């Protein structure tokens, strides 16, 4: 996959384009609601996300306009961390048929032992044994905490802009460790102003979605939904990728690698009662404290087992063999290239 050249200034990109003006022939990813194409020109700084079905323009135009109106510091921050929509691509009926979005920098790509390059999404961090088999090196527990801290920092920045990401899930989160822990968030056309209850269809990933949304208690994800997703991420990245909060019992994972001081935060974040969930400032403080703990040498070790050509059978989860769930979840993350795994249309508002 050709990656953008970040040594050059950001090119001039129109806020609106007719679909006939967007040249695209090379597909780089496919998800449940769109396909993603490389776009010639613009110094390879954007890619084209083409929807299967046209959408109403206003919600997308709002994000495009917001980006155009930001100062240089904020727009640079976006380009380092977020696949933000910068252009609305429309048809002759003035519907949005897609968007040009910021392309992830090169450091977020993994060169696999299979000879292929893939964007390094969180599935490579969750399913480490299988990731090791394709030559993706594991992270230490301290590095994982650093990645989670960086992610919460990005989500906190969005919250300060009055925005919430409606589809936080493993396949939408990229990571790298070359210089320092860094993250890049995909599917940013799923960003919504909290003040805007738009009528767009809500796409989300059930295993990562606030049960208040799935249970129709609230129409769309909110700030407390973000804290819920962070709780799942902390539990699954630092503990077990198969962890799920159980009704009446929301104890965090008991694995040795899981920092015990984060346990109460996971318990509160994954509680059905949103009023108990930590805000993002509290998450940042907790993660920073866990990352700087110098009395636990285990934080500087990886937890990934050595690659074994003979897969073992982990204990079952909810009646299904974990090995099967592992294969399905990891395959989805790779097949979709991290751009969009199986997205479920929850409702049309």
**Which mean pLDDT values do the consecutive 10-residue runs of the chain (349 residues) have?**
61 94 89 90 91 93 95 95 97 95 90 84 92 88 95 98 96 91 95 80 89 93 97 94 81 78 93 92 96 72 52 31 39 42 33
d(CA 112, CA 124): 11
Tell me which residue of 56, 123, 121, 64 sits closest to 91, measured CA to CA.
56
Full-model pTM: 0.83
- The pLDDT of residue 298 is 67
> Domain 16-102 falls in which CATH fold?
Phosphorylase Kinase; domain 1 (3.30.200)
Instruction: Tell the CATH superfamily of the 106-347 domain.
Output: Transferase(Phosphotransferase) domain 1 (1.10.510.10)
Segments of the chain assigned to CATH 3.30.200.20: 16-102
Phi, psi angles (nearest 5°) of residue 342? -70, 110
For the chain, the farthest-separated pair of C-alpha atoms sits apart, in whole angstroms, at 63
Tell me which residue of 272, 254, 271 sits closest to 263, measured CA to CA.
254
d(CA 119, CA 273): 35
Q: Count H helices, E strands: the chain?
A: 10, 14
Tell me which residue of 184, 127, 179, 131 sits closest to 155, measured CA to CA.
184
What length is written for the chain? 349
Tell me which residue of 67, 20, 32 sits closest to 46, measured CA to CA.
67
- The pLDDT of residue 4 is 53
Segments of the chain assigned to CATH 1.10.510.10: 106-347
Angle of CA points 281, 286, 290, to nearest 5°: 145
Which token pair is 69? Answer: 């109106």
Q: Is 208 helix (H, G, I), strand (E, B) or coil?
A: helix
């Amino acid at each position: 996959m050709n990656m953008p050249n970040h040594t050059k200034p950001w090119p001039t990109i129109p806020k609106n384009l007719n679909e006939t003006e967007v040249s695209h022939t090379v597909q780089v990813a496919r998800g449940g609601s769109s396909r993603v194409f490389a776009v010639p020109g613009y110094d390879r700084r954007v890619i084209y996300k083409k929807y299967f079905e046209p959408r109403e323009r206003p919600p997308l135009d709002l994000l495009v306009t917001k980006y155009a109106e930001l100062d240089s510091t904020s727009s640079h921050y976006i380009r380092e961390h977020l696949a933000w929509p910068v252009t609305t691509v429309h048809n002759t009926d003035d519907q949005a048929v897609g968007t040009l979005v910021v392309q992830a920098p090169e450091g977020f790509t993994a060169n696999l032992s299979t000879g292929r390059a893939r964007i390094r999404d969180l599935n490579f961090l969750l399913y480490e044994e299988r990731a090791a088999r394709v030559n993706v090196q594991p992270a230490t527990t301290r590095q994982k905490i650093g990645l989670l801290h960086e992610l919460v920092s990005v989500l906190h920045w969005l919250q300060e802009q009055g925005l919430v990401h409606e589809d936080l899930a493993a396949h939408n989160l990229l990571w790298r460790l070359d210089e320092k822990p860094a993250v890049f968030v995909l599917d940013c056309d799923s960003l919504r102003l909290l003040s805007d209850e738009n009528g767009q269809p809500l796409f989300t990933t059930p295993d990562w979605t606030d049960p208040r949304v799935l249970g129709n208690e609230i129409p769309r994800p909110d700030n407390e939904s973000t804290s819920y997703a962070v709780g799942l991420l902390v539990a699954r990245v630092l503990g077990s990728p198969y962890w799920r909060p159980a009704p009446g019992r929301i104890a965090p994972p008991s694995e040795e690698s899981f920092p015990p001081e984060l346990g109460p935060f996971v318990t509160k974040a994954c509680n059905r009662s949103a009023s108990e969930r930590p805000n993002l400032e509290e998450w940042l403080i907790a993660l920073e404290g866990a990352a700087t703990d110098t009395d636990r040498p285990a934080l500087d070790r990886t937890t990934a087992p050595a690659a074994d050509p003979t897969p073992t059978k982990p204990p079952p989860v909810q009646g299904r063999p974990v090995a099967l769930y592992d294969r399905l979840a990891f395959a989805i993350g790779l097949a979709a290239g991290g751009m969009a795994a199986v997205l479920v249309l929850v409702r049309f508002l």
